[in-house]
Amino acid sequence: MEVNSIFEGIIEEDVNKMLKCFEARKMTFKKDRTIITNIINVKMIGIILSGTANIIRYDYNGNRSIIESLEENSVFGEVFSRLGSDISVIATSDCEVLFIEYEHLIKRCKKNCPYHNALINNVLKLLSKKIVELNERLDILSKRSIRDKLLSYFELLASTNPKRSFLLPFTYTDLADYLSVDRSAMMREIKNLKDDGFIKTNGRRITLISY
C-alpha cells in the first residue's frame, strides 16, 4: 500500500486522541513566513497538513539552495544535519503544520493506544519514500553538466505522464536554485535543448521529445 499521509488508515476521531497522547501542536503560517529556522537541536518532526513549503539554505556566498520542496503530508525535521548551516523552512503558501516531538513518537505510549503501530508504520513508509526522493535529487545533482541535470529532472517529471509532458512545479528562477546552477546559464541551456530538439516548452509546460 502506498502511504501518503501519516494518518493513513486511522479514523479521524482516533487521530485526535492520538495527537493528545503525543502532545502534538498544530500551527498555521501565512505564505512567506518562516516556519522554523536554525533548528540544530530541535528534536521534533513537522508534518505539513496543508499548503506547501520549502527547506532552504543560504551558503556564505549568499547563494540560495532549495534543499527540498515540501507539499501536503511531507515530513520534515530529520532533515537537519549536524552542520550548523543556515537552514530554514519557509511557507510558500498558507499552511498548517503539525509538530510532534520525536521521542514521543518513537516511544510506545504507555496507554498503548491501538493505532500507534499504524502510525509508526506510516512514518516508516514516509521516511523510506523520502529516502527515495533524496536519492532522486542526488541522482540529479550528481550529473556533471547543466544539460544533464535538466534532462534527469525532466525525465523524472515526465516519467509519470505517457505524453512525456509536465508542468514545472516551480518558477524557472527556483528551478535554478533547485538544480544548484546559475539561472542565466540554465536558461541558456534550456534554449540549447530546444534548439537541439530535446524539448518543447510553453511557459512552464515542458514536453520531452522522443525522437
Partner DNA sequence: ACCATTTTGTTGCAAATGCAACTATTTTTT
Partner DNA sequence: AAAAAATAGTTGCATTTGCAACAAAATGGT
Q: Which residues bind DNA (CB under 7 A)?
A: 61, 63, 144-147, 171-174, 180-191, 201, 203-204
Strand order of the β-sheet with 199-202 is 165-167, 205-208, 199-202
| Segment 79 to 98, residues that bind a copy of itself, using CB under 8 A | 79-83, 85
- Long-range contact set of residues 78-83: C-beta below 8 Å, sequence gap at least 24: 78/45, 78/127, 79/55, 80/39, 80/40, 80/42, 82/40
Question: Does 11 participate in binding a copy of itself (rule CB under 8 A)?
Answer: no
| Segment 113 to 142, residues that bind a copy of itself, using CB under 8 A | 117, 120-121, 123-125, 127-128, 130-132, 134-139, 141-142
Choose between 11 and 106: whose C-beta lies nearer to a copy of itself. 106
Choose between 67 and 199: whose C-beta lies nearer to a copy of itself. 67
Choose between 82 and 110: whose C-beta lies nearer to a copy of itself. 82
C-alpha cell at 162: 505517457
Please pick, from the candidates 30, 33, 108, 200, the single residue that binds a copy of itself as defined by CB under 8 A: 108
- H or E, element range at 145: none
Distance, CA of 92 to CA of 70 (rounded, Å): 9
3-state DSSP call for residue 138?
Answer: helix
| Segment 164 to 183, residues that bind a copy of itself, using CB under 8 A | 180-182
Distance, CA of 94 to CA of 152 (rounded, Å): 31
Distance, CA of 93 to CA of 31 (rounded, Å): 4
User: Rule CB under 8 A: which residues touch a copy of itself?
Assistant: 57, 59, 61, 63, 65, 67, 78-83, 85, 102, 106, 108, 117, 120-121, 123-125, 127-128, 130-132, 134-139, 141-144, 148, 155-156, 159, 180-182
